[in-house]
């Protein structure tokens, strides 16, 4: 699983989209509103008791809603860290564990895990202002993220069972190691920059091989600004990512674990800006692609042949948007109204695409939990549980988990107590 680790999320004022920037530019940004975060659960391979309880919500509230109109589709739970100024969730696995980051009152970012026992800070290298972010978690509880001391960006690997321990990804010689995703069998993908002034290369890390540099999409390209990065990887070893020369010139790529190469996804993705954010076990990926009719980036699904198709209605009432994750059943979550962003990121609204229908998530929850807006559905697991981000009444970044409400068929057409 993954969570857009290759983009740096920066909070925006009310009414504006969150902005994202390539990792190369992250040191030029103010840190007073940076806030990624997550939710995590136990390392058991079965869903946690907490998650199962939520999935088995009582029908009492539903009956009342059904009388007034359509019942809600999701039960909302706030993901919080006591005393945090902001919280941003990044990923959730199939056992209910979530990961992300929170900012304390001094605006220092901390990597965090949530599970049915509560929240747990993930250890990072010592330092007064080392910024920690957890981006992705698999079902075994393996977590990838970063620690940034403003000199070196270290890629880290944690285990949910031992949050006070970490492993540094790579041999420590690279200037920046940015892990973006981890498969169910522990393969980590992302980007690496070996020294200042050279481009980012895509990499694959495995415990058996260490960090392997997969290079660039076109090593013969004369443009010194060509960069490559992987976004996500599935258990079959299919990798998706992108190459770019500047933020407005981004094109989807594909690869295979064990084959050291970065390949164009298709002729279509070479001719149109495109950026896959996530891939499921079937090999379908989602992200953004340019709609030639409007010249806007829109949420898309990438087929196995590399072509992409716009997700109908996924921009809601906005002009653009992004798909951020897809689960095994093909349910997709994302954001609408991403402003001038050149890749997947948080916007002004959050949506889910299920059963061929787009839903504005803010309109289909049983309670908004004190949030004034949802900015994006960030990740979805195979049980249909969604994690996402929004803003609270003080306009601080805040996070939530949405658990599908199970409707008893007896109530679908109304309840008649008569025998």
Instruction: State pLDDT tens for residues 322-369.
Output: 999 999 999 999 999 999 888 899 999 999 999 999 999 999 999 999
Mean pLDDT of 110-127: 95
Q: Is the pTM of this model over 0.95?
A: no
The predicted-structure confidence for 287-323, as pLDDT tens digits, reads as follows: 999 999 999 999 999 999 999 999 999 999 999 999 9
Res 260 pLDDT > 90: yes
Q: What is the mean pLDDT of the chain?
A: 85
CB 40 within 8 A of CB 114: yes
Nearest to 348 by CA among 381, 379, 372: 372
Map residue 272 onto helix, strand or coil: coil
Model confidence band, residue 249 (pLDDT cutoffs 50, 70, 90): confident
Question: What is the pLDDT, as a whole number, of residue 45?
Answer: 37
Question: What is the pLDDT, as a whole number, of residue 197?
Answer: 85
275 class by beta-carbon count within 10 Å (0-12 exposed, 13-18 middle, 19+ buried):
buried
Mean pLDDT of 208-224: 88
Question: What is the pLDDT, as a whole number, of residue 283?
Answer: 98
The predicted-structure confidence for 11-49, as pLDDT tens digits, reads as follows: 344 444 443 333 333 322 222 222 322 223 333 333 444
Map residue 217 onto helix, strand or coil: coil
The predicted-structure confidence for 62-114, as pLDDT tens digits, reads as follows: 433 333 458 999 999 999 999 999 999 999 999 999 999 999 999 999 999 99
Between 248 and 4, the higher pLDDT residue: 248
Question: What is the pLDDT, as a whole number, of residue 247?
Answer: 64
The predicted-structure confidence for 167-181, as pLDDT tens digits, reads as follows: 999 998 999 999 999
CA-to-CA distance for 188 and 203, rounded, in angstroms? 8
Question: What is the pLDDT, as a whole number, of residue 158?
Answer: 98
Dihedral angle at the C-alpha atoms of 398, 358, 300, 238, nearest 10 degrees? Answer: 70
Mean pLDDT of 270-282: 97
Q: Which range, 5-9, 246-250, 340-344, 397-401, is most confident?
A: 397-401
Question: What is the pLDDT, as a whole number, of residue 34?
Answer: 25
CA-to-CA distance for 46 and 52, rounded, in angstroms? 10
Map residue 176 onto helix, strand or coil: strand
Question: What is the pLDDT, as a whole number, of residue 407?
Answer: 66
The predicted-structure confidence for 391-411, as pLDDT tens digits, reads as follows: 999 999 999 999 999 865 554
Question: What is the pLDDT, as a whole number, of residue 4?
Answer: 53
CB 93 within 8 A of CB 142: no
CB 199 within 8 A of CB 227: yes
Res 156 pLDDT > 70: yes
Question: What is the pLDDT, as a whole number, of residue 26?
Answer: 33
Strands (E), 267-310: 274-279, 285-291, 296-302, 308-310
Domains within the chain, CATH numbers bracketed: 7-389 (2.130.10.150)
């Amino acid at each position: 699983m993954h969570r857009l680790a290759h983009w740096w999320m920066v909070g925006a004022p009310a009414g504006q989209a969150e902005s994202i920037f390539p990792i190369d530019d992250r040191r030029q940004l103010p840190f007073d509103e940076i806030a990624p975060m997550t939710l995590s659960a136990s390392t058991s391979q079965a869903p946690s008791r907490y998650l199962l309880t939520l999935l088995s919500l009582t029908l009492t509230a539903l009956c009342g809603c059904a009388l007034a109109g359509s019942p809600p589709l999701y039960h909302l739970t706030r993901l919080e860290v006591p005393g945090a100024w902001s919280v941003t969730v990044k990923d959730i696995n199939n056992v209910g564990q979530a990961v992300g980051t929170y900012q304390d009152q001094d605006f220092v970012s901390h990597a965090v895990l949530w599970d049915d026992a509560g929240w747990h800070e993930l250890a990072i290298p010592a330092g007064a202002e080392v910024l920690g972010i957890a981006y992705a978690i698999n079902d075994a509880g393996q977590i990838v993220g970063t620690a940034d001391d403003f000199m070196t960006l270290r890629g880290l690997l944690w285990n949910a069972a031992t949050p006070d321990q970490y492993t540094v990804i790579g041999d420590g010689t690279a200037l920046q190691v940015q892990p973006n995703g981890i498969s169910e069998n522990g393969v980590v993908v992302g980007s690496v920059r070996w020294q200042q002034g050279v481009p980012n290369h895509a990499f694959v890390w495995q415990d058996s091989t260490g960090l392997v540099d997969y290079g660039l999409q076109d090593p013969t390209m004369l443009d010194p600004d060509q960069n490559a990065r992987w976004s996500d990887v599935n258990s079959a070893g299919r990798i998706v990512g992108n190459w770019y020369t500047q933020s407005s010139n981004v094109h989807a790529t594909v690869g295979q674990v064990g084959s050291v190469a970065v390949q164009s996804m298709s002729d279509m993705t070479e001719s149109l800006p495109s950026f896959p954010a996530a891939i499921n076990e079937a090999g379908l990926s989602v992200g953004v692609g340019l709609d030639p009719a409007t010249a806007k980036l829109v949420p898309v699904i990438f087929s196995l042949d590399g072509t992409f198709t716009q997700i109908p209605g996924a921009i809601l009432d906005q002009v653009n948007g992004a798909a951020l994750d897809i689960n095994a059943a093909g349910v997709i979550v994302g954001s609408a109204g991403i402003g001038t962003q050149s890749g997947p990121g948080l916007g002004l609204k959050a949506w889910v695409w299920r059963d061929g229908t787009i839903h504005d998530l803010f309109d289909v929850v049983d309670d908004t939990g004190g949030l004034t807006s949802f900015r994006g559905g960030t990740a979805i697991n195979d049980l249909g549980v969604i994690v996402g981000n929004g803003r609270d009444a003080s306009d601080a970044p805040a996070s939530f988990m949405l658990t599908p409400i199970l409707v008893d068929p007896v109530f679908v057409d109304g309840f008649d107590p008569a025998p």
